[in-house]
Structure formats: structure tokens, C-alpha cells
Amino acid sequence: MQAKECKRWDHRLRPKLVGQTCSPSEESAAVIACTTKPKFMARDTGSLWLALLIIAYCMIASSARSAPLRIAGTAGYLAEWELSGNAAEQNSANATEFSGPLIWKHVGLCSQDGPQEKWGQIDIRVLGSGSSSRIHVTLSQENISCTYVGSWSERSSGLMDCSDTKGVPLTLLFNER
């Protein structure tokens, strides 16, 4: 009768060829003991580990991307409004979108009783990728809504059109935390 190599389970519950041979008297018991998988190991663990690795990678990648976008800037002909806020990334199939609260702080000479603060909203839609990316920004507060279209970079400036005034200077600074 030929000697057979026994399989044993290593500490990660994977079959491992040990390379030892079984004696003819131990052969049937050793082969059964060494090659029988535990009941919970009936499926291929390699596929399970691969699936878990892919899920972990996706979770890490999405959590890294979901960091809030920090926004600062100025608005107005004399930069009399300071803008600040944080926008969270929103799910969208066609573009990258951010949305969040925005504080409008009036710091112009007309503010005799100290700076006036108003709460508003900012919605950012990023179209394209790389240096050709464009942004569509909507800024709103109280009954006023303003739109700006420009290039997507850490600093973007140009003119925005508001519901009551056109061509208002705007500078936005974006910083991912």
C-alpha cells in the first residue's frame, strides 16, 4: 500500500500540505482527519476573503472622499461679504455635488453695530475632471439666490448673477479637510 501525504489545517483555517506520510495503519484515520473540512469551512474561503477585501477597500475609498469641503471667500463690489461654510459630498450619477450651510458675514463700512451674519446655503456641482472641470454654484440666503459658473480649482473667482443684481464679484476658496 502506498503512503499518502496528509493535509492539515494551518492557523488561518486553510488546508496546508504538511509533507509527512501516513503509515498504513494510520492511513485511513489520518487521511480522514487531515482532509475533512470543518462544517463551517464548506465554502471556498479564498473567495470570501477576496470579497471582504474588496468591501473594505470600497469603504475606505468612500470615507476618504466623503470628507467635507471647506469653503471660504468674499462677495460684493468691495468684498463686503465674507463667506464661510462646509459642504458635504452628495450622491449623484452625473457629477460630483456638494451641499451645505454657508455663513454670509457683512464686514463692510456700513456695519456700525459690528458685523452682521446671515445664514444661507451653498450647492456646488462639479462637471468634468482634471483641468477642464467646471463648477456650477448656487448661493442662497433669505430671499436671494445667486449663481456662479467657473473653473474648478482651489481658488475660483468671477462674477455671479443674483436674483436682484447681475455681475456681483465673487471669490471662492475650496479646501478638502
Task: Tell me the CA distances in angstroms from 124 to 77, 89, 99, one per residue in order.
Answer: 22, 9, 6
What whole-number percentage of the chain has pLDDT above 70?
A: 60
Q: 160, 145 in Cβ contact below 8 A? A: no
On average, the pLDDT of the chain sits at: 76
Fill in the DSSP letter of residue 51: H
What is the pLDDT, as a whole number, of residue 81? 92
Q: Which of 2-11, 107-116, 140-149 has the highest mean pLDDT?
A: 140-149
Q: What is the mean pLDDT of residues 116-135?
A: 90
Average pLDDT over residues 114-119: 86
Q: CB–CB of 83/64 below 8 Å? A: no
pLDDT given for residue 28 in this prediction: 46
What percentage of residues in the chain have a pLDDT greater than 90? 43
132 backbone dihedrals φ, ψ, rounded to 5°: -95, 10
Would the pLDDT of 27 be above 50?
Answer: no
Q: What average pLDDT does this structure show over 148-158? A: 93
Residue 48 neighbours by CB under 8 Å, 6+ apart: none
Q: Which carries the bigger pLDDT value, residue 49 or residue 59?
A: 49
Q: Give the mean model confidence (pLDDT) for residues 4-30.
A: 49
pLDDT at 50: 67
Backbone angles phi, psi at 67, to 5 degrees: -65, 145
pTM: 0.60
pLDDT digits (tens, 9 = 90+) for 67-100: 789 999 999 999 999 999 999 998 777 788 999 9
Half-sphere exposure of 45 (CA within 13 A, CB side): 11
Which whole number is the average pLDDT over 26-50?
52
- Could you give the domains of the chain? 5-65 (no CATH), 69-176 (2.40.128)
